């Protein structure tokens, strides 16, 4: 890498528009596409989506679990599509939500962020609930490889609200500290769901990007994202998946529609 993830993400969002496309090849979506729930169906789905959006979206976010469920055969699909997406010019955020003790997290970071790894992505989602300090090794590997990290802060699933509300300020403090001196958009971001009624915590001190899943099928609109993140709109990367993946023939036009509306709504 020639420059940090945060700078590359800023450039991508300005060039292509603020939208991340999630690749979530669930059994239900494979069936809707007329594909077998098999490694072959998984690969066809994945590469069809990659070809449709690789030159269009600022970032693409494969959900690792849907590949891991097939063991080595599924992971092999992930190993093939990540470099293909990056070659097409989009950034790859691997949605793995890893969270463990420091040394184990460093190993995960080497697997997913170390350049030269078969699954090297541009950024990784991580969980801070073993303490923000447990991410130290991950952040170090990310910095050394000009990669990014998105830390779970306020997700959209309702059962997480009480726990996450109680510790969100500590997480946001940790992210802000990690971004000190970045000189632009930092490479350590947070995940904040677009379906929340309100965030309830200040985000203007982060210095890094905000990955916001929940567009479309989960109920949030680009207007909701603009309202929720008023004041930090230029740092927000909304993410959409099922709403643009239901019909294999309409993936690209639907992505274009969401991208254009997000760009319009998230202007300063």
* Catalytic residue list: 97
Helix pair 39-53, 251-265: axis angle to 10 deg: 50
Burial class (CB in 10 A: 0-12, 13-18, 19+), 66: buried
As a whole number of angstroms, the distance between CA 229 and CA 236 comes to 7
DSSP SS3 for 222: helix
As a whole number of angstroms, the distance between CA 228 and CA 226 comes to 6
Q: Please name which of 143, 142, 140, 171 lies closest in space to residue 155, comparing C-alpha atoms.
A: 171
48 and 32 Cβ atoms separated by less than 8 Å: no
As a whole number of angstroms, the distance between CA 145 and CA 168 comes to 27
Residue 115: count other Cβ atoms within 10 Å of its Cβ: 10
As a whole number of angstroms, the distance between CA 58 and CA 163 comes to 31
């Amino acid at each position: 890498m020639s420059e940090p993830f945060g700078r590359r993400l800023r450039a991508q969002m300005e060039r292509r528009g603020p939208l991340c496309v999630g690749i979530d090849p669930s059994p239900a979506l494979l069936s809707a596409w007329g594909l077998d729930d098999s490694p072959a169906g998984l690969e066809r789905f994945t590469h069809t989506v990659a070809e449709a959006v690789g030159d269009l979206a600022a970032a693409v976010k494969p959900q690792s679990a849907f590949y891991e469920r097939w063991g080595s055969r599924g992971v092999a699909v992930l190993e093939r599509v990540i470099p293909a997406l990056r070659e097409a010019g989009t950034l790859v955020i691997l949605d793995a939500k890893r969270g463990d003790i420091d040394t184990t997290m460093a190993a995960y970071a080497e697997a997913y962020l170390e350049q030269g790894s078969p699954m090297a992505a541009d950024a990784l989602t991580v969980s801070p609930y073993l303490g923000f300090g447990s991410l130290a090794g991950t952040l170090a590997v990310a910095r050394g490889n000009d990669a990014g990290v998105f830390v779970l802060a306020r997700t959209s699933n309702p059962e997480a609200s009480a726990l996450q509300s109680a510790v969100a300020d500590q997480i946001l403090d940790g992210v802000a500290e990690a971004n000190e001196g970045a000189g632009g958009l930092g490479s350590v971001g947070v995940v904040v769901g677009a379906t929340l009624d309100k965030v309830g915590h200040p985000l203007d001190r982060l210095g890094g990007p905000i990955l916001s899943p929940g567009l479309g099928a989960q109920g949030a609109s680009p207007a909701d994202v603009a309202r929720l993140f008023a004041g930090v709109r230029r740092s927000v990367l909304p993410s959409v998946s099922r709403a643009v993946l239901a019909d294999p023939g309409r993936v690209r036009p639907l992505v274009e529609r969401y991208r254009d509306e997000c760009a319009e709504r998230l202007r300063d």
